[in-house]
Structure 1
Amino acid sequence: MKKLGILLMFCGQAAMAACPALLNYTVPGLMGGEIKLCEYADRPLLVVNTASHCGFTPQFKQLQALYQNYGARGLMVVGFPSNDFFQELDSNSEIGAYCEANYGVTFPMASKGHVRGKDAQPFFKALIQATDDAPTWNFHKYLILPGASKVISIGTRTKPDDPEVVKAFLPFLKPEESVKN
């Protein structure tokens, strides 16, 4: 029994050590709970700063489609609502209800926070430092490849399902056949 405890402790430490610094953040979830970004270290992660009342808000539809089409193969999408550009609803519950009712969002969403400037969430500060590119508007995207080996900054005007975006994460997904079995 003692050996099992030591083994479990070692495995836990190994898993923690495997978390890249860029993903070593836990953020509050939009509707409660926490989002532990380290849990996504072994897969492509598409991070998006969102807003409910923006001309680019229909990108939620493409984000949700990506999550539905590629989630089982490993793609993770996480939304980060922000009012930095004065187009987000007031409360987390309003944001959650809006996203679900209008776009059927089922991917994880963090609680509302800042994505740029001195008040930016620490995770966004790390993304900005990694890419030297801060969001200049809503629906700026960061594609983090497995192990945080590379971070690609994707501008607002580029749709989440743009062929270049899909081409960037596709090689890191499980084969389709492996998820059907």
Structure 2
Amino acid sequence: MVRILLLIALIVAGHMARAGGLTGTFASIDGGTLSVEDWRGQPVLIVNTASQCGFTPQYEGLQEVWDTYRDQGLVVLAVPSDDFNQELSSAAKVKEFCELTYGLDFPMTDITHVKGRKAHPFFQQVKAETGFEPAWNFNKILVGRDGAVVATFGSVARPNSQKVLSAIETALN
């Protein structure tokens, strides 16, 4: 029995190694889905966001990062979440707020859980692999071209700070 379990574990581990990196499909704020796998080969900056938070002005920095690096292959993905009770009541309101207030045009998910037992599988996988779980709004996860987490940043790290930009530029090169 132990041999069978060991064999199954090796097969699963081998499959995961071949699949490589983080996975997950999100509901898009525009309808349809957004798949992390679609961006394999590109660095992705994933940020859990909220519209009524003291860190909400970081949307400006996220748009600046998107504008600066998207032609080099960077994807910025905002994941609105009400896990900290600071998000608007619907995805439609979030989308309208972000477009009108900040002129955002990078991909966004529907309102999504990012922590705890209800967390989206992507965030559960990040926590299992790195120990990182969003502690507040505007935590940032930089995923490399290979789908592995390259760096994580807390809320106080502005998206256009030298620390975050250095990690992004390294991931792009």
TM range, smaller chain = 0.7 to 0.9
Letter in 2 for 1:100: E
**Quick check: 57-66 or 124-133, which moved more?**
124-133
| Partner Cα distance (1:106, 1:128) in 2 | 28
Query: Do 2:48 and 2:137's aligned partners in 1 also have CA atoms closer than 8 Å?
Result: yes
Deviations 1:36-69 (A, max 9, x none): 1111111111000000000000000000110011
State the 1:151 CA deviation: 3.1
State the 1:125 CA deviation: 0.6
**Quick check: 69-78 or 164-173, which moved more?**
164-173
| Aligned residue number for residue 22 of structure 2 | 22
| Aligned residue number for residue 71 of structure 1 | 70
| Partner Cα distance (2:40, 2:158) in 1 | 23
State the 1:129 CA deviation: 1.7
| Aligned residue number for residue 103 of structure 2 | 104
| Partner Cα distance (1:61, 1:18) in 2 | 37
Deviations 1:57-111 (A, max 9, x none): 0000000110011001111100110001000001110000000001111110011
TM-score by length of 2: 0.86
Percent identical among aligned pairs is 38
| Aligned residue number for residue 33 of structure 2 | 34
Letter in 2 for 1:109: M
| Partner Cα distance (1:19, 1:69) in 2 | 30
Determine if the alignment matches structure 1 residue 122 to structure 2 residue 121.
yes
- Runs (4+) of structure 1 exceeding 4 A deviation are none
Alpha-carbon RMSD across the aligned residues, in angstroms, is 1.6
Letter in 1 for 2:119: A
Structure-2 change in CA distance of 1:150 and 1:27 (3 Å): closer
- Residue segments in structure 1 that go unaligned for 5+ positions in a row: 1-16, 175-181
TM-score by length of 1: 0.82
Structure-2 change in CA distance of 1:145 and 1:69 (3 Å): same
